Structure 1
Amino acid sequence: MRVLMVEDDLILGESLKDYLESNGVEINWLKDDRKLDEAILMSEYDVIVLDLMLKYNKGEDILKQLRDKGIKTPILIMTAKNRIEDKEVCFELGADDYLSKPFNPKELLLRIKALSKRLHAPDIEKIGDVEIDLERQVILKNGQEVKISKTAWNLLKLLLKRRGEVVPTEVILNYVWPDKAVGDEIVRQYIKELRKILPEDSIETHKGIGYRLK
């Protein structure tokens, strides 16, 4: 699970990053909210954790901008603002959850897991004669189970999340191979693996840009 955390409190941010990483969550901690667009463009996230009181921009404005741009990633507001009016504004702007400071880090972890699980509903995707069970990680083609590599599965999951969109190769590399220096050729290799099981022409190649799952 990959989480983008926008938090300019260095002490809190460091402690939350350490805790979440120790529980298997990959964290991109953004201390400067002005770099948010770049962070969103460069990778794909399961959950965004957003503080409201930031150094350069209001969290409420960032929340609105993300939703106006069509970003569907679940957003958890993490803030010292605890009035019901503040919560109402954020939920109306498109927040999925709201956690008031101070809080137990385990509660943040539980809420992130719940939002991530909600993101992947519905659990069954269909592409022609191929049925993909996201929760069980099972692929059926004409009723028969098909096995693919773990890496190909992660790539398929990303394409399903962004189905209908052209996913840039750079985003794919950062999502599937976050800690490895690999190039375009390896993406083509695993796209080829997926094309063997999916209906013909399901995956479009946009040369020099990326790939689109129809």
Structure 2
Amino acid sequence: MRVLIIEDDKILCESLVEYLKTKDIMADYPPDEREYFNYLNNYTYDVIILDLVLRYLKGEDILRQIRAKGISTPILILTSKENISDKETCFRYGADDYLTKPFNLRELVLRIKSLSNRSHIHSLIKIDNITVDIDAQVIYKDGAEVNFSKIAWNLFYLLLKHRGEIVYNDTIMGYVWGDKPSSDEIIRTYVKMLRKILPPNAISTYKGRGYKLNL
């Protein structure tokens, strides 16, 4: 799981990153909240954690801008603002959850996982002679388990979550490889692996742009 934290308290951000890592949740945070959209362009996130009181921008404006761009990623508001009017505004703008500071870290993780599960696909998917077990991260073909790498699985899962949509190369690199070196050629290599497993024409190529899962 990967989350984006939009918060101007660097110490809090660094503490959250370290804590969430112990729960197998990767977290990014822009050092300047005005750069948040660069992160959304380059990575795919399961949940966005957003403060309302920031250095340069209002969290409410960021929330509204994210939804105006058609981004449906679940958004958890994490703020010191407790008034019901603030909550009403955020939910009206498209927030999915609201947690006030100070907060319990365990509760934060529970809320993140709950929001992430809302956007996840069904745990068992059947496509012709292919069965995909999402929870076990396993693909079966004609009843036999297919042996493939963690990287191949992450790529397939990303395409599956966004099936019917073009997933751009930059997004794939960020989600699958993170900060590790990658390239369009490496992506093509793993797409070729997936094509050997999946039905014909399951993955469409958009040259120089990305790939789309047609299942």
TM-score by length of 1: 0.91
Match of 1:119 in 2: 119
Code of the residue aligned with 1:172 in structure 2: it is: I
Task: Give structure 2 stretches of 5+ with no counterpart.
Answer: none
Aligned-partner residue type, residue 45 of structure 1: Y
Confirm whether residue 101 of structure 1 aligns to residue 101 of structure 2.
yes
Decide which moves more: 108-117 or 78-87: 108-117
Residue 167 of structure 2 is matched in structure 1 by 167
Tell me the secondary structure at the aligned position of residue 197 of structure 2. Answer: coil
Counterpart-to-counterpart distance in 1, 2:27 and 2:192:
30
Q: Which residue of 1 aligns with 2:154?
A: 154
* Secondary structure of 2:29's aligned partner: strand
State how far apart, in whole Å, the 2-side matches of 1:121 and 1:84 are: 33
Equivalent residue number for residue 19 of structure 1: 19
**CA shift at 1:62, angstroms?**
1.4
Question: SS at the partner of 1:196?
Answer: helix
Shift in Å, 1:143: 4.8
Match of 1:58 in 2: 58
Partner letter of residue 146 of structure 2?
V
1:203 alignment counterpart: 203
Q: Deviations over 1:51-84 (max 9, x none)?
A: 1112222212211221222212111110111122
| 2:78 corresponds to | 78
Runs of 4 or more above 3 Å deviation: 124-129, 140-147
**How far is 1:89 from its partner?**
2.0
Q: 1:140 to 1:22 in 2, by over 3 A?
A: closer
**Corresponding residue for 2:186?**
186
Query: What is the match of residue 33 of structure 2?
Result: 33
CA contact (8 A) 1:120 1:134 kept: no
TM-superposed deviation, 1:144: 4.6
Unaligned runs of 5+ in 1: none
Corresponding pairs, count? 214
**Offset at residue 39 of structure 1 (A):** 0.7
Q: 1:165 to 1:49 in 2, by over 3 A?
A: same
Percent sequence identity over aligned pairs = 55
Please give the secondary structure, in 1, of the residue aligned with 2:131.
strand
Alpha-carbon shift at residue 142 of structure 1 (Å): 4.6
CA distance in 2 between partners of 1:161 and 1:60 (Å): 27
Contact 1:131 1:140 in 2 (8 A): yes
- What secondary structure, in the 3-state scheme, does the structure 2 residue paired with 1:95 have? coil
Deviations 1:123-154 (A, max 9, x none): 23454443323223232345554333221110
CA offsets 1:18-73 (integer angstroms, 9 cap, x no match): 22223332111123121111110011111111111122222122112212222121
**In structure 2, distance between residues paired with 1:209 and 1:115:** 29
Query: What is the identity, as a one-letter code, of the residue corresponding to 2:135?
Result: E
- Give the direction of change, closer, same or farther, for the CA distance of 1:50–1:122 in structure 2 (3 Å limit): same
Taking structure 2 as the reference length, the TM-score comes to 0.90
Across the aligned residues of Structure 1 and Structure 2, the Cα RMSD in angstroms comes to: 1.8
Instruction: State how far apart, in whole Å, the 2-side matches of 1:188 and 1:144 are.
Output: 25
The one-letter amino acid paired with 2:68 is D
SS in 1 for 2:64: helix
My pick for the range that moved more, 171-180 or 134-143, is 134-143
Cα deviation for residue 180 of structure 1 reads: 1.4
Tell me which amino acid in the other structure corresponds to 1:15. S
1:87 maps to amino acid: K
The letter of the residue matching 1:70 is G
**Residue 43 of structure 2: aligned partner:** 43
The range that moved more, 69-78 or 81-90, is 81-90
Which residue type is aligned with residue 151 of structure 2?
T
What whole-Å deviation, never above 9, does each CA across 1:95-115 have from its counterpart, x for those lacking one? 121110011222212221222
